[in-house]
Amino acid sequence: LIDPLRSAAWSQWSDTGGNPMSLHRPKLHSNRTISRGPKAGRRILVAGGAGFLGSHLCHTLLNDEHVVICMDNFETGRMSNIALLLSDPNFILVRHDIIDPLPDIGPVDEIYNLACAASPPKYQIDPIHTLKTNIWGAINLLELAVSCGAKILQSSTSEVYGDPEISPQSEDYRGCVNTMGPRACYDEGKRAAETLFYDYCQTRGARIRVARIFNTYGPSMCPTDGRVISNFMVQALSGAPLTIYGHGNQTRSFCYVSDMIAGLMALMAAPDSAVGPYNLGNPEEFTIAALAHGILEILGLPPIIHYRDLPQDDPRQRCPDITKANRDLNWAPRISLAEGLSYTMPYFETELRQMKPALIAE
């Protein structure tokens, strides 16, 4: 495994004298210019458009002069993620839960399905709703896609591999998933959605693309969503001990959000034959303990860590084999973990200033 404190990526950060501003910054929300009027771009539905990934996608698509219809039930999506877009004439917000029949939004050219809580504590609050989102929601969106000949992209997940017995995971690995556990509603929901996409393609001619998204982070993550990067950042910045679940020797691979958005858009732009599934993620693998120490080192903080029980069915390892996406989509992530964390830190500092201390995740 790569030790982040000694990896090339980490030394690149150190070589800048610890000043992340001297590195190339990918374009994110704050860089966008508001369009002045209706454009001749495509009409694109982003289901889950107010969420972490969805809102970044909406910003990028609007910057590319498309008309964006953002559909969200605001279960985990946040108005603050899309606040800058509300005055844009090319941005249409529809508050709707995709498990219910879709309202008439007119024809669309492309559909991105990013509508599902993705953080384990959040998707486990109402597991039956999580399953319905993945299954009924997928059916509603697929019906729309078929009715107007739109391309439709499913945000699937590395969770389809469950607790994998092999690493890295390539797309032909079929996974090791518990059907009756706390993560099953998400894992099996996403697996069923992949099957629905495949069957709509086979039987109804749906123009599908399936991306398997690995752990992704960056600005606009909800500070209280309970995921490891948001937890560690909020804890470190507020002077609280970092909470490692288990011994911290489980691994994850973290992709910066701008790289993920580029991957999703490359997949949508690919020929209809590129149905996938495609792994999208950063193949640099870190232990959770290494991540904790890396974040503390960036902030120059002593290693104060509290160990908690490992949640049931927590995958021991996760690392994408991205050979297929690299070959077919000419895509690979460009932002190292050290670099991405340095872009993300100022966002959490700002969020923290606005949060009540009681809300800080433990």
- Enumerate the active-site residues: 186
Phi, psi of 306 (to 5 degrees): -110, 130
Q: How far apart are CA 134 and CA 176, in angstroms?
A: 19
For the CB of residue 339, give the shortest distance to ligand UDP in the complex, in Å: 19
Taking every pair of Cα atoms in the chain, the longest distance, rounded to a whole number of angstroms, is 58
Secondary structure (H, E, C), the chain: CCCCCCCHHHHHHHHCCCCHHHCCCCCCHHHCCCCCCCCCCCEEEEECCCCHHHHHHHHHHHHCCCEEEEEECCCCCCHHHHHHHCCCCCEEEEECCCCCCCCCCCCCCEEEECCCCCCHHHHCCCHHHHHHHHHHHHHHHHHHHHHHCCEEEEEEEHHHHECCCCCCECCCCCCECCCCCCCHHHHHHHHHHHHHHHHHHHHHCCEEEEEEECCEECCCCCCCCCCHHHHHHHHHHCCCCEEEECCCCCEEECEEHHHHHHHHHHHHHCCCCCCCCEEECCCCEEEHHHHHHHHHHHCCCCCCEEEECCCCCCCCCCCECCHHHHHHHCCCCCCCHHHHHHHHHHHHHHHHHHCCHHHCCC
Stretch that binds ligand UDP, among 53-61, 106-114, 132-140, 243-251 (CB under 6 A): 243-251
Exactly one of 61, 227, 236, 347 binds ligand UDP (CB under 6 A); that residue is 227
Q: How far apart are CA 227 and CA 21, in angstroms?
A: 26
Q: Measured from the CB atom, is 252 or 293 closer to ligand UDP? A: 252
Exactly one of 231, 279, 282, 342 binds ligand UDP (CB under 6 A); that residue is 231
Stretch that binds ligand UDP, among 52-60, 96-104, 107-115, 239-247 (CB under 6 A): 239-247
Q: Measured from the CB atom, is 13 or 123 closer to ligand UDP? A: 123
Q: How far apart are CA 152 and CA 156, in angstroms?
A: 12
Q: Is residue 288 near ligand UDP by the rule CB under 6 A?
A: yes
For the CB of residue 321, give the shortest distance to ligand UDP in the complex, in Å: 17
For the CB of residue 173, give the shortest distance to ligand UDP in the complex, in Å: 17
Interface with ligand UDP (CB under 6 A), residue total: 14
Q: Measured from the CB atom, is 178 or 243 closer to ligand UDP? A: 243
Q: Is residue 162 near ligand UDP by the rule CB under 6 A?
A: no
List the interface residues with ligand UDP, window 194-223 (CB under 6 A): 215
Contact track, ligand UDP, 45-64, x by CB under 6 A: --------------------
Q: Is residue 228 near ligand UDP by the rule CB under 6 A?
A: yes
Q: Measured from the CB atom, is 32 or 78 closer to ligand UDP? A: 78
Q: Measured from the CB atom, is 198 or 245 closer to ligand UDP? A: 245
For the CB of residue 270, give the shortest distance to ligand UDP in the complex, in Å: 26
Q: Measured from the CB atom, is 152 or 193 closer to ligand UDP? A: 193
For the CB of residue 262, give the shortest distance to ligand UDP in the complex, in Å: 21
For the CB of residue 355, give the shortest distance to ligand UDP in the complex, in Å: 16
Q: How far apart are CA 99 and CA 101, in angstroms?
A: 7
List the interface residues with ligand UDP, window 329-358 (CB under 6 A): none
Exactly one of 7, 250, 258, 336 binds ligand UDP (CB under 6 A); that residue is 250
For the CB of residue 320, give the shortest distance to ligand UDP in the complex, in Å: 12
Return residues touching ligand UDP (CB under 6 A).
119-120, 215, 227-228, 231, 243-245, 250, 252, 288, 311, 314
